[in-house]
Structure 1
């Protein structure tokens, strides 16, 4: 199967990759709706290179570690990105994280993995 995927044209490979991201996005939206959590879409551009404290451009200090020349904040680029995405999301939501007001879905009985449970047997529904 892997060999047959390698033989596909580049455009088809890209389409398959985008399809998998779409499925993850649908699952996240479903989980947020089910649990009453808001979904906030944030533009990720520049999130790993801007300082989450003072918003200045960070410089690479070591491999994957950035340091702010202005305030001295230092962290892994993934951590910097998460802090900046959180900051942007909170700004879009009005500045503070409040209790979600969305209605929760009651037609599903989620287990710890978030999958529907078969009420008759207590097992995962197929």
Structure 2
């Protein structure tokens, strides 16, 4: 697939690079529906730029984040993971959790019968 990407416009290149991630996402959603596990989609944009403790802007030295307001220190990936978790389970400050309940149609779609 990489050889077919060379020389293509950037929009096509971008869409082809997302193909594997989309298939992986669909497989996860399919299994979650099969086992009745809720799925929460979180936009990962800017999740590494704000402090998960006090919501201040972080300063970085290489991959290490430091919050000047509260003194929090962590790796960029850890900060992103914490903020994704907070967005999924807490949502915006003062709001209720943003995990929507699964609809009955979604739960039965693609579900396999399990015997035994």
Q: Match for residue 90 of structure 1?
A: 89
Q: Match for residue 30 of structure 2?
A: 30
Q: 1:91 to 1:4 in 2, by over 3 A?
A: closer
Distance 2:14 2:36 in 1: 33
Q: Match for residue 107 of structure 1?
A: 113
Larger Cα Rg: Structure 1 or Structure 2?
1
RMSD over aligned Cα, in angstroms?
3.0
User: What is the TM-score normalised by the length of structure 1?
Assistant: 0.66
Q: Match for residue 55 of structure 2?
A: 55
The Cα shift of 1:84 comes to 0.6
The Cα shift of 1:31 comes to 2.1
> The residue matched to 2:90 in structure 1 has which SS?
helix
What 5-or-longer segments of structure 2 have no aligned partner?
Answer: none
Q: Match for residue 40 of structure 1?
A: 40
Q: Match for residue 72 of structure 1?
A: 71
After superposition, give the CA deviation of every residue in 1:33-56 in whole Å (9 maximum; x if it has no partner). 123221111122221011111111
- Comparing both structures, which one devotes a greater share of its residues to helix? 2
User: What is the TM-score normalised by the length of structure 2?
Assistant: 0.71
